[in-house]
Structure 1
Amino acid sequence: MPHQVAVMIHAPLDQDRVTDLRKRLGDISRAGMAGPPFHFGRMPGVHFARFFVLPADRDPSGAPLPAELVYLGEVDAPARRHLRTLLDVAADGLDEVFGHCPGYPGAAAPRGERLRWLRRHSAPADAFYVNTVGRTVAQIRAEAELRQVIQDYLDRRGSWAEVPPQRARQAIQAHVRSRPELAWAFRPPPGPALWWRSREVLHRLGVPLLLLPALPILAVAVPVWLVLLRLHEIRDVPDTERPGHDRLLELADCEDDAAQNPFTAVGFVKPGTLRRLTTRVVFAAIDYAVRHHYNHADLAGVKTIHFARWVSLDGRRVLFASDYDGSLESYMDDFIDKLAWGLNAAFSNGVGYPRTRWLVTGGARDEQAFKYYLRRHQIPTAAWYSAYDTLTARNIDRNARIRAGLRGDMTPDEAEGWLRLL
């Protein structure tokens, strides 16, 4: 079973065609991304996918930045297979939307040429969070169907109040065994490939080992960095402007159509070498943490996120994107309550962020200023696809536990706890 990867394709747009593209993406979104012209519903291994337009802007020095079309996908590995599948299944959609980008080969070009263009315009994530590494789209869908089969059986049987928990579990097991197509439910899902697990172990052990020789230098450098950072923080000018009403309506129009929502935000890194270096170090720390510590349904206490990524763009901007459960208001509250220090570390190097102290305090604790900041930097998701749009992260985890509970022996208390999942 593969692990999960983040795919990103982005390219500058023909500025005269931005409005037409926005309208077309809106039409596609309303019709649903599972069908034509992208047919994501026919693509194996696509958890989430989105298109959005990154608007033209000027960086803090005044240099112009063109509008860009961006595609993000969270998919089962490998990424190269997903790019090939995009051309096999969604060629009409790709040709239509990326045809707004100067230099795109177009439908008349050979498949190999278009594939090379997609690869040239791909960008890796600096850090990528996966709710549960190794849990594929196929597994998520199958376990949801398994739960429904069991639930239907329990409903038909009527009252179970007088049935002892172990006997009720045995009856459920017998029913599932009677369905040959569900034989897979009694086997544990396979984990990621051995080569991938070996690579992750090497990374987990290798990074600390590589840092050991640098400890004497870090012992001198870190205090100096902290002092310089604090001086920068004192001079920071936060942007407390409330987002406009029309802006909020535009963002709301792209939200709350499913059990999950997409979030995308882009902002400029504060000028100067110190801030750029701090951003790189923070992203490296986030990458290490989400790969080795927060990789099973829990991002430091936040359990509603399916995927999240942090991406450095052109050395001047940072993109953050996630797929999360519930409303944006509850999502922001969850982060503020449980992970304010992490928000500050990740985003306080952004222009206009609420003022922090020593990188991790303050900042997001100014709740209203932080929410305004996120909304000002949020990019409307023009078109978005979810492979399981009725399932929250908790639903998915519960379904996996129901499947696991079909195997092995249980005490009466364990059986009763398992039945509560149903």
Structure 2
Amino acid sequence: MAGQSQIFIAAPIRIGAAEALAALLETMNAAPGTADPANALLPFGRIPTIHVARFVILDDPSLPDRQQIAPQLPATEPLRLAFIADCDGTADDLLRTLVQLATPGLQQIFSHCSDFNAPADLLAWLHAHRIVSAATYANWRGRSMTQVREEATLHTMLRQTRLAHPEASPEQLRDILLTAARSFPLTPLPVPAFAEKLAEIRDFLLLPLYALLLSPLLIPALPFLILLLRWRETHDPVLAPVPSIARNKLLSSIEDHDVTNQYSAIGSLKPGLFRRWLTVAVLWIINWAGRHLYSTGRLGRVNTIHFASWTFLDDKRRLFFGSNYDGSREAYNDDFINKVAFGLNVSFSNGLGYPQTNWLILDGARHEQDFKRYLFHHQIPTQVWYKAVPGLTTYDFARNTRIRQGLTKNLTGSALKAWIAEI
């Protein structure tokens, strides 16, 4: 059972080619920022394993901050094009499929990159420019696009059947629905092999094992590290400028074309080894937790995220964050602030200009206006965004799975009524 994988391809854009590249990417869209599944360059709809994907020009609006508050960092960084996709199966499988399906389109897109020059082996070039993200999150590990599509179709069919029998009792309706479901065979869900379960256990034990091995070094150093963190927190400058109306209109124009939205943001880390290695450690733990603690529908108390990733760039001087979430941008931000502000602080407080935290987990995102301005300052437009199942939210996925599970249970009484109510 391969589960989900992510690919993140990034390559520097030729000087002067960004405008032509943006115009080319626009031809892939059916609506602003929203991909046409059948577009001529990369027909996402013909790849059944992709959940979400995007092309985004990593044009960092926060780079001038360095000259203002971190002059020890380079004043400029390469302008890059990134292609990011979350899929079923392995990353290698998806890359091979992309090359087989869309080599001419990919060549046309990546020809705007400075080191492309129409390579004979496109697959090798893509592999050479792949970056492994520091942390990834999937709403429900192992829930494939096949499962999502089949369960959505099952729900629609059962709902029509239920509405056609308004006078039936719950028990009668149960028998009618079970009979209807038999006419729609579902692909069996994969069962992990023993070797996969063993590998999962080994992976789960990595965190306690590393903590045990490093404890002789970390415990004596902990008081010093805590004091260093607190000193940095009280001295690092905050930078949360008032949002630009024009840029807000640009970002708003590519949002809310579906119940789900994309989010792309980029920014610099605070300078110094302390912040760098703290970020590395935090993201490693987030990646581990996404696999083992938050793998069945929720990231903390937030259940609206489909996929998210944190990716280092430029020798870990910068970090890209991308997510796919249900609802509006404002609701997304409020959801995190109200439910998991401490998680935002842990994840992002090592970013240059972040609102002041207190002992890493306190304050920070709780300074709501500064935090929202900080987020806006780092958000960038996503030129092309694809979602395989428009109109469906993570709630829909979870409900449809519960309906499927109810077909295999001998439900009676209140449990039967609750199951029917979800259909």
TM-score range, shorter chain: over 0.9
Paired AA for residue 146 in structure 1: L
Alignment of 1:281-292 (within 5 A): 281-292=281-292
Task: Give TM-score, length-normalised by structure 1.
Answer: 0.94
In structure 2, the partner of 1:347 is 348
Whole-Å Cα distance in 2 between the matches of residues 194 and 251 of structure 1? 47
Whole-Å Cα distance in 2 between the matches of residues 154 and 92 of structure 1? 48
> Which of these residues, 124, 139, 159, is aligned with residue 147 of structure 2?
139
Whole-Å Cα distance in 1 between the matches of residues 380 and 110 of structure 2? 19
In structure 1, the partner of 2:56 is 52
CA-CA distance at 1:193 after TM superposition: 5.5
Paired AA for residue 108 in structure 2: E
Change (3 A) 1:244 1:194: farther
> Which of these residues, 79, 86, 108, is aligned with residue 96 of structure 1?
108
Paired positions, count: 410
- Residues 136, 310 of structure 2: 8 Å contact kept: yes
Whole-Å Cα distance in 2 between the matches of residues 367 and 400 of structure 1? 36
Paired AA for residue 55 in structure 1: D
CA-CA distance at 1:155 after TM superposition: 2.2
Paired AA for residue 104 in structure 2: D
In structure 2, the partner of 1:81 is 93
Whole-Å Cα distance in 2 between the matches of residues 219 and 2 of structure 1? 38
SS in 1 for 2:56: strand
- Verify: 1:309 aligned to 2:309, yes or no: yes
1:316-353 CA distance string (max 9 Å, x none): 00111110001010000000011100000110000111
- Residues 128, 290 of structure 1: 8 Å contact kept: yes
- Verify: 1:152 aligned to 2:160, yes or no: yes
- Verify: 1:331 aligned to 2:316, yes or no: no
- Residues 105, 114 of structure 1: 8 Å contact kept: no
Whole-Å Cα distance in 2 between the matches of residues 291 and 366 of structure 1? 30
Alignment of 1:11-410 (within 5 A): 11-30=11-30, 32-35=35-38, 36-55=40-59, 57=63, 60=70, 61-106=73-118, 109-110=119-120, 113-157=121-165, 159-160=166-167, 163-177=168-182, 179=183, 182-184=184-186, 189-192=189-192, 194-314=194-314, 315-410=316-411
SS in 2 for 1:41: helix
CA-CA distance at 1:153 after TM superposition: 1.4
CA-CA distance at 1:194 after TM superposition: 4.9
Whole-Å Cα distance in 2 between the matches of residues 130 and 184 of structure 1? 23
CA-CA distance at 1:192 after TM superposition: 4.8
- Residues 41, 102 of structure 2: 8 Å contact kept: yes
Whole-Å Cα distance in 2 between the matches of residues 237 and 352 of structure 1? 6
Whole-Å Cα distance in 1 between the matches of residues 367 and 333 of structure 2? 12
SS in 2 for 1:129: strand
- Identity between Structure 1 and Structure 2 (%): 37
Tell me, which stretches of 5 or more residues in structure 2 are unaligned? none
Tell me, which stretches of 5 or more residues in structure 1 are unaligned? none
- Residues 103, 122 of structure 2: 8 Å contact kept: no
Whole-Å Cα distance in 2 between the matches of residues 291 and 5 of structure 1? 12
- Residues 134, 192 of structure 1: 8 Å contact kept: no
Answer with 56-65 or 285-294: which moved more.
56-65
- Residues 33, 384 of structure 1: 8 Å contact kept: no
Answer with 347-356 or 18-27: which moved more.
18-27
Paired AA for residue 146 in structure 2: A
- Residues 263, 382 of structure 2: 8 Å contact kept: yes
